[in-house]
Structure 1
């Protein structure tokens, strides 16, 4: 079996003209250099070098072998260097799968900022709520809300989902302000996601900790946040909206949160990837980046006492143009 290291040493010996000089260049003892060349000759069954006390010379077979292999070793070494450099400097296409709700929030801000820092990484994002097999479908990373689709995935927790139930003033004027989550069964629902199946709201009472699950039939389902938000503003029904996306509509009075004592149960939001072994630099860089960015965003929110101040600060942050 061919040993590339033996071949590399042989090429170096010929280029340097001696075992001693090759050993100095390669950082190994002369005796090891000589032994590796001898092992290569043994594996080929042919003598490559004529040795004397004064000089080395190529045999006819050795000259042909050297001529054919020298450029190949150079190409292999160069390919190794290029790949190694890429792994030290993030490069290539990063394929990312993201739930519709998460993708419609601050994700665009984060992606733009990441590419400003790592301009050699191109980003391909797929927004979907369907089950995804990351390995089979060739995704480098995924953002997931709740349980992971595959327990073998390596995951880091980013935050907890934070959504609120809202409706327009006109809708609440016509149908009334619900007082208890059970009242939602009699109201129209605008659902963000895939499929016309019922929207299930997991609610927790902020004081007693009581939990309740309410399934509401949607009259409108869309996997586009802008359409979902516009439908709610126009009075189509109540709906769940990510906290970070509620800003302008809530602050302007276009949407009104419908419960004070109840909140939607938070779910873990994670970034996950298929394997920790030989993780590409582009993936490692994105994971570290998104974890840091979300932590900073959470610190910003936690430092402000009122919902209005939090939403206003987040809106300002996400509307900034990054110059890094």
Structure 2
């Protein structure tokens, strides 16, 4: 029995919570995965997993062995990478999850540079606003906006997202231009709700010492950023969206900046990855590359970029 392979399989079974998902992640037959774990238990003379028809859970001995396996496998990877010629040219499949707007506006346009640097990496880019479980779904790393929940993931802050409030000139010509956040109550707005919780996000504003939080009235609520922008461009109502996605539309005049002297609270952006993958060369180079990309992008700096509103003739 290949002991290191058996350890890797055991770790994947624990991370995935079952043999089927682990087999999918490893691209191995389920029977092989099950047999390797059984052989490992026989060699160690200890039960590592509780098995039922519905789920697999780790035993007390299995939990302790799991932690040891993580350290051993990490040490092996570090030793291999420190001696391997592939350290500077990592390769293999890399699964990354990112919000649609960030994928479309930031990541994808910059990918030619990434592939020029690391031609051996085959990138699988999951795009969507639904937060994924990195361990369960076999994702190597993800880019996430907002406060991070308590978890075992390693997180690296790479920037902040600033928001703007805007609408089409046609909508504003018909319904008027709000001069204070409280005036949004008399407007149609486009709301955004969480794919995970279903909660509709309030709009917040700060000017000097004045802070305003509003649950704006909305004719439409969406949970996808691409659809959200499309709704605003269609003239359905006023929207509040990440500035980096709106800059081109504001510059072209398709959208008009509103309440420009009010600031909405920025959201931190992190790249996150599971602790047991932190030594992977392909994950390491992607994290470094995306951190540099965000830190040099004007839309993600600590200070919000200056956006000049389009002047509207009376």
Q: TM-score, normalised by structure 2?
A: 0.63
Note closer, same or farther for the CA distance 1:138–1:252 as it changes in structure 2 (3 Å cut): same
Q: Which residue matches 1:59?
A: none
Query: Deviation digits for residues 20-72 of structure 1, max 9, x if unmatched?
Result: xxxxxxxxxxxxxxxxxxxxxxxxxxxxxxxxxxxxxxxxxxxxxxxxxxxxx
> Following TM superposition, by how much is the alpha carbon of 1:183 offset from its aligned partner in structure 2, in angstroms?
2.2
User: Residues of 1 paired with 2:142 and 2:159: CA distance?
Assistant: 14
Note closer, same or farther for the CA distance 1:197–1:189 as it changes in structure 2 (3 Å cut): farther
Q: Which residue matches 2:118?
A: 118
Gap regions ≥5 residues in structure 2: 5-79, 310-314
Query: Deviation digits for residues 265-320 of structure 1, max 9, x if unmatched?
Result: 101111111116652111100111111122222399899985359xxxxxxxxxxx
Note closer, same or farther for the CA distance 1:193–1:125 as it changes in structure 2 (3 Å cut): farther
Secondary structure of the residue aligned to 1:155 is: strand
User: Does residue 244 of structure 2 align to residue 244 of structure 1?
Assistant: yes
Note closer, same or farther for the CA distance 1:180–1:300 as it changes in structure 2 (3 Å cut): closer
> Following TM superposition, by how much is the alpha carbon of 1:200 offset from its aligned partner in structure 2, in angstroms?
1.5
Q: Which residue matches 1:152?
A: 152
Query: Deviation digits for residues 203-253 of structure 1, max 9, x if unmatched?
Result: 222x22x32221224433445545433332231111123222222211121
Alignment of 1:62-211 (within 5 A): 84-191=84-191, 197-205=199-207, 207-208=208-209, 210-211=210-211
User: Does residue 216 of structure 2 align to residue 228 of structure 1?
Assistant: no
> Following TM superposition, by how much is the alpha carbon of 1:151 offset from its aligned partner in structure 2, in angstroms?
2.9
Q: Is the 8 A contact 1:101 1:192 kept in 2?
A: no
> Following TM superposition, by how much is the alpha carbon of 1:128 offset from its aligned partner in structure 2, in angstroms?
2.7
Q: Which residue matches 1:10?
A: none
Q: Is the 8 A contact 1:129 1:193 kept in 2?
A: no
> Following TM superposition, by how much is the alpha carbon of 1:84 offset from its aligned partner in structure 2, in angstroms?
4.3
User: Residues of 1 paired with 2:307 and 2:184: CA distance?
Assistant: 23
User: Residues of 2 paired with 1:265 and 1:303: CA distance?
Assistant: 11
Gap regions ≥5 residues in structure 1: 5-79, 310-324
Secondary structure of the residue aligned to 2:206 is: strand
Q: Is the 8 A contact 2:194 2:200 kept in 1?
A: no
User: Residues of 2 paired with 1:163 and 1:278: CA distance?
Assistant: 32
Q: Is the 8 A contact 1:198 1:217 kept in 2?
A: no
User: Residues of 1 paired with 2:3 and 2:167: CA distance?
Assistant: 70
Note closer, same or farther for the CA distance 1:201–1:299 as it changes in structure 2 (3 Å cut): closer
Q: Is the 8 A contact 2:167 2:257 kept in 1?
A: yes
Note closer, same or farther for the CA distance 1:2–1:95 as it changes in structure 2 (3 Å cut): closer
> Following TM superposition, by how much is the alpha carbon of 1:112 offset from its aligned partner in structure 2, in angstroms?
3.3
Equivalent pairs, count: 231
What is the root-mean-square deviation of aligned Cα atoms in Å? 3.4
Note closer, same or farther for the CA distance 1:154–1:214 as it changes in structure 2 (3 Å cut): same
